[in-house]
Copies of this chain bind each other. A is one copy, B any other.
Protein backbone atom coordinates (compact mmCIF):
# COMPACT_ATOMS: atom_id res chain seq x y z
CA UNK A 1 0.00 0.00 0.00
CA UNK A 2 1.88 2.97 -1.32
CA UNK A 3 -0.62 5.77 -1.16
CA UNK A 4 -3.59 7.09 0.67
CA UNK A 5 -6.15 5.69 -1.82
CA UNK A 6 -4.85 2.15 -1.44
CA UNK A 7 -5.13 2.45 2.32
CA UNK A 8 -8.67 3.80 2.17
CA UNK A 9 -9.65 0.95 -0.12
CA UNK A 10 -8.03 -1.55 2.26
CA UNK A 11 -9.89 -0.19 5.24
CA UNK A 12 -13.23 -0.13 3.45
CA UNK A 13 -12.99 -3.33 1.43
CA UNK A 14 -10.38 -5.47 3.13
CA UNK A 15 -13.03 -7.58 4.82
CA UNK A 16 -14.18 -8.81 1.41
CA UNK A 17 -10.72 -9.78 0.41
CA UNK A 18 -9.22 -11.20 3.61
CA UNK A 19 -10.22 -13.72 6.24
CA UNK A 20 -11.36 -11.93 9.38
CA UNK A 21 -9.95 -12.51 12.89
CA UNK A 22 -6.70 -13.81 11.51
CA UNK A 23 -3.31 -12.34 10.67
CA UNK A 24 0.19 -13.52 9.91
CA UNK A 25 3.16 -12.06 11.75
CA UNK A 26 6.68 -12.60 10.45
CA UNK A 27 9.88 -12.83 12.45
CA UNK A 28 12.54 -12.11 9.84
CA UNK A 29 16.01 -13.13 10.93
CA UNK A 30 19.07 -11.71 9.26
CA UNK A 31 22.73 -11.86 10.16
CA UNK A 32 25.03 -8.89 9.93
CA UNK A 33 27.99 -7.51 11.76
CA UNK A 34 28.41 -10.67 13.82
CA UNK A 35 24.91 -10.32 15.15
CA UNK A 36 21.63 -12.08 14.64
CA UNK A 37 19.00 -9.44 13.91
CA UNK A 38 15.26 -9.15 13.40
CA UNK A 39 13.50 -6.78 11.03
CA UNK A 40 11.04 -4.51 12.82
CA UNK A 41 8.77 -1.83 11.46
CA UNK A 42 7.11 1.22 12.95
CA UNK A 43 3.72 2.39 11.77
CA UNK A 44 2.59 5.98 11.52
CA UNK A 45 2.09 7.69 14.87
CA UNK A 46 3.02 4.59 16.85
CA UNK A 47 5.52 4.69 19.64
CA UNK A 48 6.36 0.99 19.68
CA UNK A 49 7.82 -1.08 16.90
CA UNK A 50 6.04 -4.12 15.51
CA UNK A 51 6.67 -7.26 13.55
CA UNK A 52 5.84 -7.01 9.87
CA UNK A 53 2.61 -8.81 9.12
CA UNK A 54 -0.42 -9.11 6.91
CA UNK A 55 -3.67 -10.91 6.23
CA UNK A 56 -4.69 -14.11 4.48
CA UNK A 57 -6.75 -13.78 1.33
CA UNK A 58 -10.02 -15.66 1.42
CA UNK A 59 -8.97 -18.27 -1.12
CA UNK A 60 -5.23 -18.22 -0.59
CA UNK A 61 -3.28 -21.11 0.87
CA UNK A 62 -1.78 -20.21 4.22
CA UNK A 63 1.82 -20.85 3.18
CA UNK A 64 1.25 -18.84 0.03
CA UNK A 65 -0.02 -15.95 2.12
CA UNK A 66 3.11 -16.00 4.27
CA UNK A 67 5.34 -16.01 1.20
CA UNK A 68 3.36 -13.16 -0.36
CA UNK A 69 3.62 -11.04 2.79
CA UNK A 70 7.35 -11.67 3.01
CA UNK A 71 7.75 -10.77 -0.63
CA UNK A 72 5.83 -7.55 -0.16
CA UNK A 73 8.18 -6.54 2.66
CA UNK A 74 11.55 -7.78 1.45
CA UNK A 75 11.20 -8.52 -2.29
CA UNK A 76 12.66 -11.95 -1.58
CA UNK A 77 11.25 -15.19 -2.93
CA UNK A 78 12.12 -18.79 -2.19
CA UNK A 79 13.37 -17.98 1.24
CA UNK A 80 13.35 -20.28 4.21
CA UNK A 81 10.00 -19.71 5.85
CA UNK A 82 8.44 -21.71 8.59
CA UNK A 83 5.28 -21.56 10.63
CA UNK A 84 6.01 -21.94 14.33
CA UNK A 85 2.95 -21.13 16.43
CA UNK A 86 -0.50 -19.56 16.43
CA UNK A 87 -1.08 -16.92 19.06
CA UNK A 88 -4.49 -16.50 20.59
CA UNK A 89 -4.04 -16.41 24.35
CA UNK A 90 -2.67 -12.98 25.19
CA UNK A 91 -5.27 -10.61 26.70
CA UNK A 92 -4.50 -8.23 23.84
CA UNK A 93 -5.90 -10.86 21.51
CA UNK A 94 -9.14 -11.15 23.46
CA UNK A 95 -9.93 -7.53 24.10
CA UNK A 96 -9.48 -5.35 21.07
CA UNK A 97 -9.76 -1.82 22.50
CA UNK A 98 -6.02 -1.17 22.44
CA UNK A 99 -5.72 -2.49 18.91
CA UNK A 100 -8.59 -0.32 17.74
CA UNK A 101 -7.04 2.79 19.29
CA UNK A 102 -3.72 2.10 17.64
CA UNK A 103 -5.36 1.46 14.31
CA UNK A 104 -7.13 4.77 14.55
CA UNK A 105 -3.84 6.58 15.01
CA UNK A 106 -2.19 4.70 12.16
CA UNK A 107 -5.00 5.08 9.66
CA UNK A 108 -5.52 8.74 10.55
CA UNK A 109 -2.71 9.35 8.11
CA UNK A 110 -5.16 8.35 5.35
CA UNK A 111 -8.03 10.16 7.05
CA UNK A 112 -10.09 7.08 7.79
CA UNK A 113 -11.54 6.14 11.15
CA UNK A 114 -11.95 2.60 12.43
CA UNK A 115 -15.28 2.14 14.17
CA UNK A 116 -16.06 -0.24 16.96
CA UNK A 117 -17.55 -2.89 14.71
CA UNK A 118 -15.08 -2.43 11.88
CA UNK A 119 -13.36 -5.60 10.69
CA UNK A 120 -9.96 -4.29 11.81
CA UNK A 121 -11.30 -3.83 15.32
CA UNK A 122 -12.16 -7.46 15.82
CA UNK A 123 -10.26 -9.97 17.86
CA UNK A 124 -7.40 -11.28 15.76
CA UNK A 125 -5.39 -14.45 16.18
CA UNK A 126 -1.96 -14.39 14.67
CA UNK A 127 -0.10 -17.17 12.94
CA UNK A 128 3.64 -16.78 13.47
CA UNK A 129 6.12 -17.51 10.69
CA UNK A 130 9.84 -17.05 10.90
CA UNK A 131 12.07 -16.43 7.91
CA UNK A 132 15.81 -16.69 7.46
CA UNK A 133 17.12 -14.20 4.96
CA UNK A 134 20.41 -13.09 3.54
CA UNK A 135 20.65 -9.65 5.11
CA UNK A 136 22.40 -8.17 2.11
CA UNK A 137 19.74 -9.34 -0.31
CA UNK A 138 16.80 -7.65 1.39
CA UNK A 139 15.27 -4.64 -0.31
CA UNK A 140 12.98 -2.81 2.02
CA UNK A 141 9.81 -1.66 0.28
CA UNK A 142 8.46 1.67 1.48
CA UNK A 143 4.81 1.67 2.46
CA UNK A 144 2.51 4.57 3.02
CA UNK A 145 1.75 3.81 6.65
CA UNK A 146 5.19 2.61 7.66
CA UNK A 147 7.48 5.29 9.03
CA UNK A 148 10.52 3.23 9.83
CA UNK A 149 12.33 -0.05 9.37
CA UNK A 150 15.08 -1.35 11.56
CA UNK A 151 17.22 -4.43 11.95
CA UNK A 152 17.48 -4.95 15.69
CA UNK A 153 19.95 -7.21 17.46
CA UNK A 154 18.10 -10.07 19.15
CA UNK A 155 19.74 -9.11 22.42
CA UNK A 156 18.33 -5.58 22.32
CA UNK A 157 14.73 -6.01 21.30
CA UNK A 158 12.73 -3.13 22.83
CA UNK A 159 9.19 -3.54 24.16
CA UNK A 160 7.04 -4.06 21.08
CA UNK A 161 3.38 -3.66 20.30
CA UNK A 162 0.86 -6.19 21.53
CA UNK A 163 2.31 -9.63 22.19
CA UNK A 164 5.09 -9.32 19.62
CA UNK A 165 7.86 -9.83 22.16
CA UNK A 166 6.29 -13.15 23.06
CA UNK A 167 6.12 -14.06 19.37
CA UNK A 168 9.83 -13.35 18.95
CA UNK A 169 10.69 -15.40 22.02
CA UNK A 170 8.84 -18.38 20.62
CA UNK A 171 10.45 -17.91 17.21
CA UNK A 172 13.89 -17.93 18.79
CA UNK A 173 13.20 -21.05 20.79
CA UNK A 174 12.00 -22.76 17.62
CA UNK A 175 14.97 -21.56 15.59
CA UNK A 176 17.36 -22.83 18.27
CA UNK A 177 15.78 -26.24 18.31
CA UNK A 178 15.74 -26.44 14.50
CA UNK A 179 19.40 -25.67 14.17
CA UNK A 180 20.27 -29.26 14.91
CA UNK A 181 17.94 -30.61 12.25
CA UNK A 182 18.40 -28.19 9.39
CA UNK A 183 21.31 -26.38 7.82
CA UNK A 184 20.04 -23.08 9.16
CA UNK A 185 23.21 -21.23 8.19
CA UNK A 186 22.57 -21.78 4.53
CA UNK A 187 19.75 -19.28 4.56
CA UNK A 188 21.42 -16.62 6.63
CA UNK A 189 24.81 -16.48 4.95
CA UNK A 190 25.83 -15.52 1.45
CA UNK A 191 26.84 -18.34 -0.87
CA UNK A 192 30.47 -18.18 0.12
CA UNK A 193 31.45 -17.43 3.67
CA UNK A 194 34.41 -17.79 5.98
CA UNK A 195 34.73 -20.13 8.91
CA UNK A 196 34.78 -17.27 11.44
CA UNK A 197 31.53 -16.03 9.91
CA UNK A 198 29.56 -19.25 10.26
CA UNK A 199 31.21 -19.88 13.59
CA UNK A 200 30.03 -16.61 15.04
CA UNK A 201 26.61 -17.06 13.44
CA UNK A 202 26.11 -20.30 15.33
CA UNK A 203 27.38 -18.67 18.49
CA UNK A 204 24.87 -15.83 18.06
CA UNK A 205 21.95 -18.13 17.41
CA UNK A 206 22.65 -20.48 20.27
CA UNK A 207 24.07 -17.81 22.56
CA UNK A 208 27.09 -19.81 23.61
CA UNK A 209 30.69 -20.31 22.59
CA UNK A 210 32.20 -23.09 20.53
CA UNK A 211 35.81 -24.09 20.13
CA UNK A 212 37.03 -23.03 16.66
CA UNK A 213 38.81 -26.30 15.94
CA UNK A 214 36.02 -28.57 17.11
CA UNK A 215 33.43 -26.51 15.27
CA UNK A 216 35.26 -26.86 11.96
CA UNK A 217 35.88 -30.54 12.55
CA UNK A 218 32.19 -31.19 13.12
CA UNK A 219 31.05 -29.23 10.07
CA UNK A 220 33.49 -31.07 7.85
CA UNK A 221 32.77 -34.45 9.42
CA UNK A 222 29.08 -33.98 8.66
CA UNK A 223 29.99 -32.99 5.14
CA UNK A 224 27.84 -29.92 5.60
CA UNK A 225 30.35 -27.49 4.14
CA UNK A 226 33.29 -27.69 1.77
CA UNK A 227 36.42 -25.65 2.01
CA UNK A 228 37.11 -23.76 -1.22
CA UNK A 229 40.51 -22.82 -2.56
CA UNK A 230 39.67 -19.12 -2.55
CA UNK A 231 40.35 -16.85 0.34
CA UNK A 232 38.69 -13.60 1.25
CA UNK A 233 40.78 -10.46 1.61
CA UNK A 234 39.97 -8.85 4.92
CA UNK A 235 42.53 -6.07 4.90
CA UNK A 236 44.90 -6.01 7.75
CA UNK A 237 44.87 -9.66 8.73
CA UNK A 238 45.43 -13.12 7.42
CA UNK A 239 43.02 -13.99 4.62
CA UNK A 240 40.52 -16.63 5.72
CA UNK A 241 39.44 -19.46 3.42
CA UNK A 242 36.00 -19.40 1.91
CA UNK A 243 33.54 -22.24 2.44
CA UNK A 244 30.30 -23.22 0.77
CA UNK A 245 27.44 -25.45 1.84
CA UNK A 246 27.18 -28.90 0.29
CA UNK A 247 23.71 -28.81 -1.20
CA UNK A 248 23.15 -32.59 -1.06
CA UNK A 249 23.73 -32.69 2.66
CA UNK A 250 22.58 -29.25 3.67
CA UNK A 251 19.23 -29.47 1.90
CA UNK A 252 17.93 -32.56 3.59
CA UNK A 253 17.02 -32.68 7.26
CA UNK A 254 19.78 -34.34 9.25
CA UNK A 255 19.28 -37.85 10.48
CA UNK A 256 18.08 -38.02 14.04
CA UNK A 257 20.85 -36.89 16.30
CA UNK A 258 23.40 -36.28 13.55
CA UNK A 259 24.13 -32.89 14.99
CA UNK A 260 23.75 -33.01 18.72
CA UNK A 261 26.56 -30.74 19.65
CA UNK A 262 29.70 -28.96 18.63
Instruction: Please report A residues at the B interface, Cβ cutoff 8 Å.
Output: 19-22, 56, 58-64, 83, 85-89, 93-94, 123, 125, 127, 177, 181, 257, 260-261
Contacts and interface: CB of A to CB of B under 8 A. Distances in A.
A63 B86 contact: no
Contacts of A123: 19, 58-59
Contact of A86 (B59, B61, B83): B83
A211 B22 CA distance: 48
A17 to B, nearest CB: 13
Main DSSP-derived SS at the A contact region: loop
Contact of A85 (B19, B83, B87): B83
Which A-B residue pairs are the 3 nearest by beta carbons? Answer: A62-B88, A61-B89, A86-B86
A177 B94 CA distance: 31
Given A20-B20, A21-B20, A61-B94, A127 B86 contact: yes
A61 B90 CA distance: 7
Nearest to A261: B257
Given A61-B88, A61-B94, A62-B86, 11 more contacts: A19-B21, A19-B123, A19-B125, A59-B94, A62-B88, A62-B89, A63-B88, A64-B89, A83-B86, A257-B260, A260-B260
